[in-house]
Amino acid sequence: MSRAEEDATTVRTRREPPRFRGVAVRRVEPLTPRMVRITLAGPDLEGLTVGDPAASVRLLLPSPGTRELAMPTWERNEFLLPDGRRATIRTFTPRRVDPEALELELDVVLHGAGVACGWAEAAGPGDSAAISGPGRGYAFDLDAPAFLLAGDETAVPAISQLLEALPDETPVQVLIEVADPDARSPLPDRRRAAVEWCDLPPGAPPGDALVTAVRDTDLVNGVRVWAAGEAASMQRIRRHLFDDRELPRSHTAVRGYWKHGRQGGPDA
């Protein structure tokens, strides 16, 4: 076997993610017609801490068609169930973690499709799930002169956390794309935050309105940019920031949360 063939057959081993912690639904609270807050709780959440804002957790759900939860094992760089099938896992921003009440809140977008959406719409007290994490958050620069936060509906929980964590005296511009006016939800109140809701025109690809809004925004020298949403639109925003604006890569954090047309990616 040649070196090239050997390299092609070599699978890079990924580090095993944090263990799954068993939880149960404690409360379900509608936030808007398109978003619901689900509070998960259980003694297994003891010791779970989330540091930086806009971090992530993995949510393990029962397999489609069942309400029973099976814990997976980490094999061949993925979580597999005892019968060899892939586990049903989605990624979310934990909106709040209460270490005393042993609770964790997830805000889920009800976009009409997907396993997590169906689970959230049917969830009730006592339903089983599991949490793994946290994943990396956003370590912002306290000396930055200004911030731009941009995202779609799935980024609202992370943007809310960032607004709560950023220094009060620092100006922040917020751009949020919504597919329906009903998706507009209250954000944390900040004295120096300017919020613009960008309505996605009917038939336009997800992220199109957000890309246009970012391109039309004046950015001060030294601004820090955080953006998250549909993967293809995030690629367009990334190219615009790097190629057209020539922003330093160290001043930007652009994350694809989900991919249009593909089920199985993060729901929020």
DSSP-derived pairing of the beta strands 21-32 and 88-92: unpaired
Q: Angle, nearest 10°, between helix axes 231-239 and 208-215?
A: 20
CATH architecture of 21-135: Beta Barrel (2.40)
147-258 is classed CATH 3.40.50.300: no
CATH 2.40.30.10 maps onto the chain at: 21-135
User: Which ranges in the chain are annotated with CATH 3.40.50.80?
Assistant: 147-258
139: tokens are: 């370590």
Q: How far is CA 224 from CA 152, 166, 240, in A?
A: 18, 12, 14
- Return the pLDDT at 56: 96
Radius of gyration of the chain, Cα coordinates, nearest whole angstrom? 19
pLDDT digits (tens, 9 = 90+) for 84-104: 999 999 999 999 999 999 999
Residues 108-126 as b/e (b if ≥16 CB within 10 A, e otherwise) read bbbbeebbbbebbeebeee
Is pLDDT of 264 > 70? no
Per-residue confidence (pLDDT) for residue 153, from 0 to 100: 95
**Is 60 strand, coil or helix?**
strand
**Between residues 114 and 227, the one the model is more confident about:** 227
User: How do residues 5-48 score in pLDDT, each as one tens digit?
Assistant: 444 445 577 888 899 999 999 999 999 999 999 999 999 999 99
Task: Give one DSSP letter per residue of 110-172, joined into a string.
Answer: --S-SHHHHHHHH--TT-EEEEEEEE------TT-S-EEEEE-GGGHHHHHHHHHHS-TTS-E
Mean pLDDT of 219-230: 97
Are the CB atoms for 112 and 101 separated by under 8 Å?
no
Q: Which of 178-192, 236-250, 253-267 has the highest mean pLDDT?
A: 236-250
Predicted local confidence at residue 268, as pLDDT: 41
Rounded mean pLDDT, 110-122: 85
